[in-house]
Structure 1
Amino acid sequence: MVVDGPSGSGKTRLAAALAAALRAGGEKVSTLSTDLLATWREPFSFWSQLEEQVLGPLARGEQGRLQVVDWTGPEPRPGGWRRVPVPDLLILEGVSAGRRAVRDRAGLLVWVELPDRALRLERAVGRDGEHTRSSFRAWQDAEDVHFAAEGTRAAADLHVPARLDRPVIGP
């Protein structure tokens, strides 16, 4: 399953809720966010790494092992490694997760939408801090180009409106 949509629309929250519901039903579910790989300068160029380190091994029934981005310094850099056990279901979520390269393997492509760009910016900055505002503006421009080129919204099996009554992160 893939959950995609613009930044600040609630993809992570939806993916977590779906995973919890499926786990309650006895499924072995893993969630993986593209946020672990994206950087401000290279928001969508991580796909070959994701394929090589996670999607390929999982498809072969092997555990994945992903080197994540370390955001603790002034510039993001390669960080530690995260294991991705073989699940019954992988929920891949994040901006660009629903790209053409994965659609034939995704059982369901969910598009989470909040059309108000300014509100999405405020939600993202509220989540990640005021220091990210200018970076998120550039990110939103890159998202627009990416989604137009990929046709992600039109390809989605399910469209889910963002929940405005709840914050992006939190209970």
Structure 2
Amino acid sequence: MLKQLLSRLNSFRRDEAGNVTIESLLWLPLIMTILAATFSLHDAFRYKSLNIKAAYTISDALSRETAPIDDAYLDGMVDLLSYLTRSAGPYSLRVTLVRYTDAGGGYQVEWSQTRGGFEAMTGSDLTNLSANLPNMLNNERIIVVETQTEYRPPFVVPGLNTANLFYNFGFTRPRFAPKIVWSDA
């Protein structure tokens, strides 16, 4: 009986029929996981790129304005953000006019308007962002645009985007006027 068992095990070890099936069963889950992770990473970087481009597009459009900005204009910018990013999630936009003064202690918020999940920028928020702002001349102004959109990856990859949000920050100097004006300011 032992001899028969050893003989069968030995013949099983030498038999090469069906190896491709066994190897496929072993490797297929790993290959599919790698393909799904690669696709998700590519999609996340593509989406992040779309969000950055949308934030700079909005910032550039605002920098060219000479007329006062109002609620309808910002609502249109949120629609533009929605169109450019093509996301199904909620959209948030914060536009802030920041002024730098030598005598006033640095960066100051002149006005801040939001749409979505953001709150209006305060002095303490600006202090936290000041390391990311450029060096400016006395009484110079910049337009700070922040966007936030929801991202849902096609396949779950641990650590890819735990908050499911992409936040973007950009700034631009006003082009045709020394500052942009909020209609109620």
Q: TM-score, normalised by structure 1?
A: 0.29
Tell which structure's C-alpha radius of gyration is larger: 2
For normalisation by structure 2, the TM-score amounts to 0.27
Higher relative contact order (CA 8 A, sep 6+): 1
